[in-house]
Amino acid sequence: MSTAVILMNLGTPAEPTAPAVRKFLRDFLSDPRVVEIPRLVWLPILHGIILPLRPRKIAPAYAEIWNSGLDGAPVEGAPLLYYTRRQAELLQESLAEKRPDIRVDYAMTYGAPQLEDVVERLQREGFDSFMVFPLYPQYSATTTGSIYDQVARIYRSNRNIPNISVVHNYYQHPLYVKALANSVREHRQKHGVADKLLLSFHGIPKANVDKGDPYYQQCRETAEHLAAELGLEEDQWQLCFQSRFGKAEWLQPYTDKTLIEWGKKGVGSVDVICPAFAADCLETIEEIAEENRANFIEAGGGEYRYIPTLNLRQDHIEMLAEIVEEKLPAARKHTG
């Protein structure tokens, strides 16, 4: 069998304009995995309120980071797409010596390139076995679950069904935890040790967890593993959740409220890391690195520092390569 590994991330608008953002949000927020409100209730809200108004507010934020990611670092287009594409290229290089038979590509859950299109192209090139690798360390039905849905649609639409496996999660993989810890240590070597380390994960509605989504517990375990790896005491770190949307209760504690509370208490310095993200994007760059910095400082806090996601770190790419090797069936491993 000829095997292809397809890295997958959330996706991004095709360009930093209101029409492009509207199309992206329409696809994203129409997904029943993302918003579980009954369609008869949700779709009128989405098409009547959110899509006419929200894209005009978000497009300028995309424009600010387009071609220039965190701290103005040059990237090509949207940072999320750029980093995912480069991760695929670097993973290909990392696997080249041991597994020259493997092709590495990438796709997006929403926007381009779509998984189905990538699989069809690779099939035409002779690949008949696929490992889909969601870049979500912690599983949630709202993220990795949607990727399983896309795989199912490929099965339904093909008479000759390809062999596809999906990496379910890697939230406690030793190399993942070590890469996170290394990023914190290197940050501390440059900037010193902050009073608090805040581990901010993307939030989901609490109701999702109540219904069985394992995301909260996996985030909890990632945070505890990282704290143990860094030798942190309980009062030195905090698990929080960001990016809530709507009026329903989401996973708590909330990142923004925690930072405001710390600011009011006069916390002298805080480092913030987002372990659930494999690549910096609008959410980490604009919401965490900028917006929440302002919240913390305006509330009376001292120094605020954002630790970038794993992005293109060598230990991150080595971790991805190790997981690929672990997940491939022994019968398909290259022995030459």
- pLDDT tens readout for residues 240-283: 999 988 788 999 999 999 999 999 999 999 999 999 999 999 99
For the annotated binding site, the residues are: 202, 283
- Which CATH number is 3-170+314-332 given? 3.40.50.1400
- Report the pLDDT value the prediction gives residue 335, as an integer from 0 to 100: 40
- Which CATH number is 174-307 given? 3.40.50.1400
* Residue 225 confidence (pLDDT) above 70: yes
Question: Residue 314 is encoded by which pair of tokens?
Answer: 């060598």
For the annotated binding site for Fe(2+), the residues are: 202, 283
Binned at pLDDT 50, 70 and 90, residue 69 comes out as: confident
Domain ranges of the chain: 3-170+314-332, 174-307
Question: Hey, what long-range contacts does 89-95 have (CB within 8 A, 24 or more apart)?
Answer: 90/312, 90/317, 91/5, 91/7, 91/317, 91/320, 91/321, 91/324, 94/317, 94/318, 94/320, 94/321, 95/5, 95/321, 95/324
Mean pLDDT of 205-234: 97
Residues 114, 153: Cα–Cα separation, whole Å: 12
Q: What is the pLDDT of residues 130-179, one digit of tens each?
A: 999 999 999 999 999 999 999 999 999 888 888 999 999 999 999 999 99
